[in-house]
C-alpha cells in the first residue's frame, strides 16, 4: 500500500515514539490516578469537569493514535491523492505537530491528575498558539485536496481561489497563534473574548474571503 506522499523517517520515528510512550505511561497513570481525574478546565485554569481514571488514562492516548492513523492513511482515499506529493513535507510536519500537542497536553493533564499543580491556563493557550503558527507557515504550501486545508465550496471549485485563500489563511493562523500566546500575559477576564475573536477570525475570515474571491470572479 503506497502512500501518495513521502514519509519523513526521522519525524515518523519521533511521532511513533511519542505515541508508544503515551501508551506505556497510560498504564502507570491508571494505577496511580485517583478515582476521579480533572479532564477539562475553564479559562481561569480551574477544573470544571472530571472523568474516571480509566477514561483519563487511556482515552487520550487512544485518541492520539486514532488521529495519527487517520491522518496517515486518509490520503489514500482522497480523489485528489496525487496532490499530496506536492506538499508532503508540510503534511509530515503537521502530523508530527498535532501528535506533539496531543501527547504534551495529555502529559500536563496526567501530571495534574497525579496531584501536582499544572498551569493549565498558561500551557494550553501557549501550546495551541504554537500549533497555529506552525499551521500558518505551512498552510500556503497545501495543494487542493478533499481532506486537508481550508475546504469551502469556493476553494474546491477553483485552483486560484484555493491558493489565494490559503496564502491569506496562513497569515491569519500565524496572527491567531500570536494572539493565543498573548493570552498567557493578558488578564483572565479577556481570555474568553480573545479566544472568541481567534475562532471567529479563522472561521469567518477564511470562509468569507474564499466567497469574496468567487463573487469577484463571477462578476
Report the distance separating Cα 37 and Cα 108, nearest Å: 12
pLDDT over 90 at 118, yes or no? no
User: In the predicted model, is pLDDT for residue 209 greater than 90?
Assistant: yes
Task: Give the distance from CA 104 to its chain's centroid.
Answer: 12
Binned at pLDDT 50, 70 and 90, residue 145 comes out as very high
Task: Please state, in angstroms and rounded to a whole number, the distance separating the CA atoms of residues 32 and 30.
Answer: 6
> Which pLDDT tens digit goes with each residue over 68-108?
999 999 999 999 999 999 999 999 999 999 999 999 999 99
Report which of residues 119 and 98 the model is more confident about.
98
User: What is the pTM for the complete model shown?
Assistant: 0.91
78 phi/psi in degrees, rounded to 5: -75, 125
CA distance to 23, 30, 202, per residue, from 43 (Å): 28, 27, 20
* pLDDT at residue 6 greater than cutoff 80: yes
Give the C-alpha separation, 118 to 120, whole Å: 6
Adjacent-strand bridge partners of 50:
38
What kind and span of H or E run contains 173? helix 159-182
User: Alpha carbon 140 to chain centroid distance?
Assistant: 16
Q: What pLDDT was estimated at residue 4? A: 95
* Those residues with Cβ within 8 angstroms of residue 84's Cβ, 6 or more apart along the chain or in another chain: 3, 4, 5, 75, 78, 91, 143, 145
Residue 188 has pLDDT above 90, yes or no: no
Helix (H) or strand (E) holding 37: strand 36-41
Give the model's pLDDT for residue 93: 95
Q: d(Cα 44, Cα 59) in Å, to the nearest integer?
A: 25
Contacts of 65 (CB under 8 A, 6+ apart): 19, 23
Amino acid at each position: 500500500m503506497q502512500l501518495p506522499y513521502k514519509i519523513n523517517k526521522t519525524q515518523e520515528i519521533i511521532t511513533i515514539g511519542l505515541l508508544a510512550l503515551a501508551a506505556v505511561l497510560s498504564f502507570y497513570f491508571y494505577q496511580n490516578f485517583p478515582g476521579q481525574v480533572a479532564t477539562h478546565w475553564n479559562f481561569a485554569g480551574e477544573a470544571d469537569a472530571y472523568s474516571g481514571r480509566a477514561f483519563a488514562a487511556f482515552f487520550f492516548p487512544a485518541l492520539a493514535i486514532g488521529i495519527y492513523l487517520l491522518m496517515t492513511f486518509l490520503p489514500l482515499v482522497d480523489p485528489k491523492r496525487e496532490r499530496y506529493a506536492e506538499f508532503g513535507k508540510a503534511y509530515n510536519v503537521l502530523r508530527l505537530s498535532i501528535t506533539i500537542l496531543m501527547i504534551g497536553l495529555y502529559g500536563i493533564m496526567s501530571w495534574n491528575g497525579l496531584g501536582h499543580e499544572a498551569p493549565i491556563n498558561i500551557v494550553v493557550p501557549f501550546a495551541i498558539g504554537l500549533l497555529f503558527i506552525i499551521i500558518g507557515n505551512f498552510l500556503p504550501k497545501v495543494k487542493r485536496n478533499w481532506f486537508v486545508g481550508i475546504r469551502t465550496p469556493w476553494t474546491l471549485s477553483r485552483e486560484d481561489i484555493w491558493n489565494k485563500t490559503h496564502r491569506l489563511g496562513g497569515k491569519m493562523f500565524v496572527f491567531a497563534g500570536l494572539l493565543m500566546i498573548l493570552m498567557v500575559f493578558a488578564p483572565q477576564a479577556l481570555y474568553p473574548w480573545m479566544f472568541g475573536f481567534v475562532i471567529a477570525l479563522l472561521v469567518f475570515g477564511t470562509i468569507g474571503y474564499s466567497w469574496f474571491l468567487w463573487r469577484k470572479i463571477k462578476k
